[in-house]
Structure 1
Amino acid sequence: MLEVINGFLMIYFIVLCVFNVFVPYLVKPIAACFSRPSNEERTIWAEVVKLKAEQKTISMKEEFAAYSKIQRKINKLEGQLKEDSQSRMSKSIAIKGSIQIILQVVLALVTIVSVIWFRREPIVALKTNLFPFTTMLRYPSDMPNSISTHVWVLVSNISLRTLLKPIIS
């Protein structure tokens, strides 16, 4: 029923469509590389853990002053960690949004340029005649009963999003 005319273009556009579907899921690991806790945050966290361990060795009833002093230090360091964490999270959100926009724009430009560049190349040929739709399916190609790159990208995008939705959700 189908005859593949240009297998390279068929695979090329399918890969582009797959990347397009997975862009939101590629953003998270890429952004994680840019928003890791700093050495200062790690040092503060290690100090908080050390102070909590030290605090557990002190009896609250017998040495209230020393216990309270350590608790104030812990509270101060945890407050600083919270501020640093909030600023890192806001930067992370900005980075994720920027990366997602950049990836989507790059993929859209590559897809648009490719579709325009290969607009007259048919991807597959149908052995049967789909009379009312043949002109629409093959436009702007001249080959009868063929599917052009425009239609192939549209069909691939919709079908891949539908097929991969249960897997990625």
Structure 2
Amino acid sequence: MFLLIISTLLSFLSVHTKIITNPVMHWMNRVSKEEKTKLNEIKALQCAQQKLSMVDNFVEYSKIQRKINKLTESLKESKSRNSNDFFLKIGIPYGLRIIIISMLIILCLYYRGSPLFYLESSINLFPFGYFISFPNGRNSVSFHFWVMCCTAFARLIKL
């Protein structure tokens, strides 16, 4: 029973790795306290700048604009230093998928000779019986077939 649950979960996770990777990516790309304070300062300066008339108070307006530009540049620099976006966006989903698929391959090799579960003797799977229970006896479901069915079913489901 344990093997049935593990194989089903791994099959579904191999197709839908975004269930795990999306929260991880969201957590890794969260905004730091420094960036939040800089964003709040930029918003406050922009509000103050909107209250001023550009024609009447050009000096104050341009000083505020220089402060805004300076803050946005420092924000861009901090984001570029902290971001390994390419490696994170590619590495985490595909790395997780490689780990899950390699676990499935190891389980397939280890349990290739043992059936996952048996069907009743009254059930006759005549044309497909050999394929369903390939290395095992009659009326049994092999690990390989179960993983293929679960993976195909998971691809049909859009999460």
With structure 2 as the length reference, what TM-score do the two structures score? 0.82
Deviations 1:84-142 (A, max 9, x none): 44565x5234212111122111111211111222222212334333334322221212x
Matches of 1:107 and 1:62, distance apart in 2? 65
1:65 maps to a residue whose letter is V
Partner of 1:22: 16
Matches of 1:103 and 1:158, distance apart in 2? 19
> Are the counterparts in 2 of residues 27 and 96 from structure 1 also a CA contact under 8 Å?
no
Q: After the TM superposition, list the runs of 4 or more consecutive aligned residues in structure 1 that deviate by more than 6 angstroms.
A: none
Counterpart check, 1:48 vs 2:42: yes
Between 64-73 and 74-83, the greater mean CA deviation after superposition: 74-83
Counterpart check, 1:145 vs 2:145: no
Q: Once the two structures are aligned, what percentage of the paired residues are identical?
A: 34
Matches of 2:77 and 2:146, distance apart in 1? 50
- In the alignment, structure 2 segments of 5+ residues that lack a partner are none
Q: Map 1:59-74 onto structure 2 (within 5 A).
A: 59-74=53-68
Matches of 1:18 and 1:131, distance apart in 2? 28
- In the alignment, structure 1 segments of 5+ residues that lack a partner are 1-6
2:101 maps to a residue whose letter is A
Partner of 1:4: none
Higher helix proportion? 1
Shift of 1:38: 3.1
With structure 1 as the length reference, what TM-score do the two structures score? 0.78
Q: Map 1:27-106 onto structure 2 (within 5 A).
A: 27-85=21-79, 91-106=84-99
